[in-house]
Copies of this chain bind each other. A is one copy, B any other.
Amino acid sequence: MKEFVVRPIGVVRSALKDPADAPKQGALTGQEAEIIVDPAYLPALDGLERRVAAAENTDFGDGGYRKGGKIIVICWMDRADRGRLKVHPQGQEELPERGVFSTRSPHRPNPVSLHTVTLLSIEGNVLRVRGMDAIDGTPVVDIKSHSPELDG
């Protein structure tokens, strides 16, 4: 099958420096981090300011727009083992191995990760988010609005 090239649009800045530090499903821990977006993509951030958590209850008067402070950050887990097809779930050796497609393991053929996070602020090309378990330096490949109807 045809291959495609991923070109990162930004990078994660976080106090989590090592994969060993990263809590499993750390989204649930409230870890804060920054997404530094390549300035070339600044126009693509336009509109995200409405997603800032503080604006959650603001009426922007444009009807169809879903309010709420959540966005989805998609990363490329560049330290993952792309050859692993089975893992012990949550790294727990006592649990039998399962196929990676039935887990959230970083190890998978295309190590794309999803992070549904709360958008705290945007200043220029810097997004501050809460609930981010990716480690410092992880390449960011996409940002999307989160929709409870589509994603919940």
Q: Which of B64, B89, B142 contacts A108 (CB 8 A)?
A: B142
A46 at the interface (CB under 8 A from B): yes
Chain B residues in 8 Å Cβ range of A101: 41, 44-45, 47-48, 142-144
Hey, what's the 0/1 contact readout for A1-32 against B, CB within 8 Å counting as 1? 11111111101000000000000010110000
CB distance from A62 to the nearest CB of B (A): 7
Copies in the complex: 2
Interface residues of A in 116-152 (CB under 8 A from B): 116, 139, 141-145, 147-152
Q: Which of B2, B5, B89, B141 contacts A112 (CB 8 A)?
A: B141
Measured in the bound complex, the distance between the Cα atoms of B104 and A26 in whole Å is 25
A53 at the interface (CB under 8 A from B): no
Chain B residues in 8 Å Cβ range of A64: 89-90, 95
- B41 and A109 form a contact (CB under 8 A): yes
- A102 and B151 form a contact (CB under 8 A): no
Interface residues of A, CB < 8 Å — how many? Answer: 61
CB distance from A44 to the nearest CB of B (A): 4
Measured in the bound complex, the distance between the Cα atoms of B25 and A45 in whole Å is 21
Q: Which 8 residue pairs spanning A and B have beta carbons closest together?
A: A47-B102, A47-B98, A46-B99, A101-B143, A44-B99, A44-B85, A152-B152, A43-B85
14 contacts between A and B (CB under 8 A): A1-B38, A2-B8, A2-B78, A3-B5, A4-B6, A6-B110, A28-B149, A43-B86, A47-B102, A64-B90, A64-B95, A103-B145, A104-B150, A148-B152
